[in-house]
């Protein structure tokens, strides 16, 4: 660190931001970035911050990853846009081939590309409704699926995502999540009871025959890195299959090696009918996808899916570079290694501080949930204090959770172990100062 955080140059830029950018667009840590790599963000004041956020689970291959940079530079020089719906190009097809190969299941698949996670979700819903001819979509407590009108309706949390932005899209129904730490009768009963509640709620409040899709994050992201009780996902998927309901896995945050597998569903052998991807897919360029069973994806009328920029050639070239990096550098193994370094350190925090109620996650998607000592009341004040202390010492740490009481860690998968350990030392010190 060279200056206080934020430094003088960042403060100047933040003043310009306040004068030019809508106040509705927040900044977690207002240091302005000059350049970034595999785990370090350098700001305009010359401070070097350790990155435990990866731009919210995006730059898994690192910032400005060499294969991404090379592919993008070549593509920008060749052509930047034609619109795939007008005159197509190979890069789009190649990304879809990769998605069809890498996503769970060996059945015939097709993909379509979009620009953002929310847009992928919107399209997955369109596809499921068209295929089934049914209206209802079931989503879960603590879910996050985006900020567009339909995806706000699917997102559970009011502040800041939905507050005053209604009315929301209809035919969205919410059911309880199998959240082991907060399951009323304890974690051991969670999978069974949550599944029974899911089935009875959908039956009583929606009706199976009205239900187009069940949409779930296999590990909930913004909602607080909630890992559903083991077996829950598989049972929900199986139940959907028996009722002709499309099971959609939102792997926008969990996908592309983040959890130590190509997709989080892999760990439980769950094969979704449709899967949405974004974030990690393209090393920081905006790209998203919907991948699914060929009979579902091909049931849509010609011209029914698309958009001006969806599957932009530069973003596709970046994705091909990112996926090549994941394979060449075995980023699944890297994510598992990150977990092996981080989890014991987080467990040690839980031993030391009563306020650390739960340690959870998978691979390089780990979190601690902070509570009031002696119980389970959420402790957002301590969460904010620890995050702030991390920021002051040069660690980019993010919060999450319906109650704002989760500290989540999403380092780039290419981070070197020394930096990872240094970041954990900063976290230790932040707890020591705040807890």
Q: Which residues bind ligand PLZ (CB under 6 A)?
A: 56, 116-118, 121, 144-147, 217, 221-222, 250, 252-253, 278
Identity of the residue, 43 or 222, whose beta carbon is nearer to ligand PLZ in the bound complex: 222
Closer residue to ligand PLZ (CB): 121 or 370: 121
- HSE (CB half, 13 Å, CA atoms) of 335? 30
d(Cα 74, Cα 56) in Å, to the nearest integer? 27
Cβ proximity to ligand PLZ, 99 vs 426, nearer residue: 99
d(CA 332, CA 344): 19
Query: Which residue, 204, 209, 206, 199, is CA-closest to 132?
Result: 209
Torsion of CA 43, 27, 227, 337, to 10 degrees: 0
150 or 386: CB nearest ligand PLZ: 150
Alpha helices in 249-404 (DSSP H): 294-297, 313-328, 331-352, 380-392
Our CB check for ligand PLZ shows the closer of 134 and 145 to be 145
**Which among 290, 306, 175 has a CA at the least distance from the CA of 240?**
175
- Of all residues in the shown chain, the one whose CB is closest to ligand PLZ is 117
Residue among 145 and 360 whose Cβ is closer to ligand PLZ: 145
Of 74, 361, 12, 430, the residue nearest 221 (C-alpha): 361
Q: Which two tokens stand for residue 22?
A: 């809508």
* Least distance from ligand PLZ to the Cβ atom of residue 235, Å: 21
What DSSP letter does each residue of 303-320 carry, written as one string? TSS--SSTT-HHHHHHHH
Q: Least Å distance between CB 265 and ligand PLZ?
A: 13
Taking the complex as a whole, how short is the minimal distance between the CB of residue 321 and ligand PLZ, in angstroms? 19
Sign of CA dihedral 16, 17, 22, 26: negative
Taking the complex as a whole, how short is the minimal distance between the CB of residue 283 and ligand PLZ, in angstroms?
14
Closest C-alpha to 24, from 167, 222, 163: 163
Name the minimum Å distance from CB 84 to ligand PLZ: 19
Buried-exposed string 304-325: b where 16+ CB fall within 10 A, e elsewhere? ebebebbbbbbbbbbbbbbbbb
Give the chain's radius of gyration (CA, Å). 21
CB of 407 to ligand PLZ, least distance (A): 16
**Closer to ligand PLZ by Cβ: residue 124 or 424:** 124
The string of DSSP letters for 16-27 reads HHHHHS-TTS--
Q: Which residues contact 251 (CB under 8 A, 6 or more apart)?
A: 217, 218, 263, 264, 265, 275, 276, 277
Give, in degrees to the nearest 5, the angle at Cα 97 between 236 and 231: 15
Q: How far is the CB of 128 from ligand PLZ (least distance, A)?
A: 16
Q: How far is the CB of 26 from ligand PLZ (least distance, A)?
A: 8
Output 121 or 413, the one with its CB closest to ligand PLZ: 121
CB nearer to ligand PLZ: give 75 or 254.
254
Tokens standing for residue 224:
């607080």
Q: Measured from the CB of residue 8, what is the shortest distance to ligand PLZ in angstroms?
A: 28
Cβ proximity to ligand PLZ: between 66 and 160 the closer is 160
Sheet of 33-36, strand order: 33-36, 40-43, 48-51, 395-396
Query: For residues 28 and 80, which CB has a smaller minimum distance to ligand PLZ in the complex?
Result: 28
State the minimum distance, in angstroms, from the CB of residue 185 to ligand PLZ: 28
Q: Where are the beta strands (DSSP E) in 202-339?
A: 211-216, 246-250, 274-277, 288-293
Q: Which of 219, 4, 263 is nearest to 109 (CA)?
A: 263
Give the shortest CB-332-to-ligand PLZ separation in angstroms: 19
């Amino acid at each position: 660190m060279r200056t206080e955080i934020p430094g003088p140059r960042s403060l100047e830029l933040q003043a310009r931001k306040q004068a030019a950018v809508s106040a509705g667009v927040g900044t977690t840590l207002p240091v302005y970035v000059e350049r970034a790599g595999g785990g370090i963000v350098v700001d305009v004041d010359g401070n070097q911050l350790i990155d435990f956020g990866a731009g919210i689970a995006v730059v898994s291959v690192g910032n400005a990853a060499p294969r991404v940079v090379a592919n993008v530079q070549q593509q920008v020089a060749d052509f930047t846009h034609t619109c795939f719906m007008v005159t197509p190009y190979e890069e789009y097809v190649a990304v879809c081939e990769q998605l069809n190969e890498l996503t769970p299941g060996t059945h015939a698949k097709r993909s379509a590309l979009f620009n953002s996670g929310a847009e992928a979700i919107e399209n997955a819903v369109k596809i499921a409704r068209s295929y089934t001819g049914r209206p209802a979509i079931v989503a879960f407590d603590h879910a996050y699926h985006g900020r567009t009108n339909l995806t706000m309706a699917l997102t559970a949390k009011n502040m800041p995502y939905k507050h005053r932005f209604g009315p929301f899209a209809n035919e969205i129904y919410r059911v309880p999540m199998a959240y082991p730490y907060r399951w009323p009768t304890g974690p051991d009963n969670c999978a069974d009871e949550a599944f029974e509640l899911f089935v009875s709620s959908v039956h009583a409040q929606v009706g199976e025959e009205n239900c187009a899709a069940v949409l779930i994050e296999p590990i909930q992201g913004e909602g607080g890195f909630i890992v559903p009780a083991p077996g829950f996902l598989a049972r929900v998927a199986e139940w959907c299959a028996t009722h002709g309901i499309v099971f959609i896995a939102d792997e926008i945050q969990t996908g592309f090696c983040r959890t130590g597998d190509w997709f989080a569903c892999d760990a439980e052998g769950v094969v979704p009918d449709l899967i949405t991807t974004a974030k990690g897919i393209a090393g920081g360029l905006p790209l998203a996808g919907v991948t699914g069973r060929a009979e579902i994806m091909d049931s849509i009328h010609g011209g029914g899916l698309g958009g001006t920029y969806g599957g932009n050639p530069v973003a596709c070239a970046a994705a091909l570079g990112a996926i090549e990096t994941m394979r060449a550098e075995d980023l699944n193994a890297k994510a598992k290694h990150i977990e092996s370094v981080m989890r014991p350190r987080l467990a040690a925090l839980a031993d030391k501080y009563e306020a650390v109620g739960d340690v959870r996650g998978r691979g390089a998607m780990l979190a601690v949930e902070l509570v009031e000592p002696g119980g389970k009341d959420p402790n957002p004040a301590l969460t904010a204090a620890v995050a702030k202390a991390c920021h002051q010492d040069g660690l980019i740490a993010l919060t999450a959770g319906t109650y704002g009481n989760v500290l989540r860690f999403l380092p780039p998968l290419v981070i070197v172990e020394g930096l990872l350990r240094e970041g954990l030392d900063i976290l230790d010190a932040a707890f020591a100062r705040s807890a």
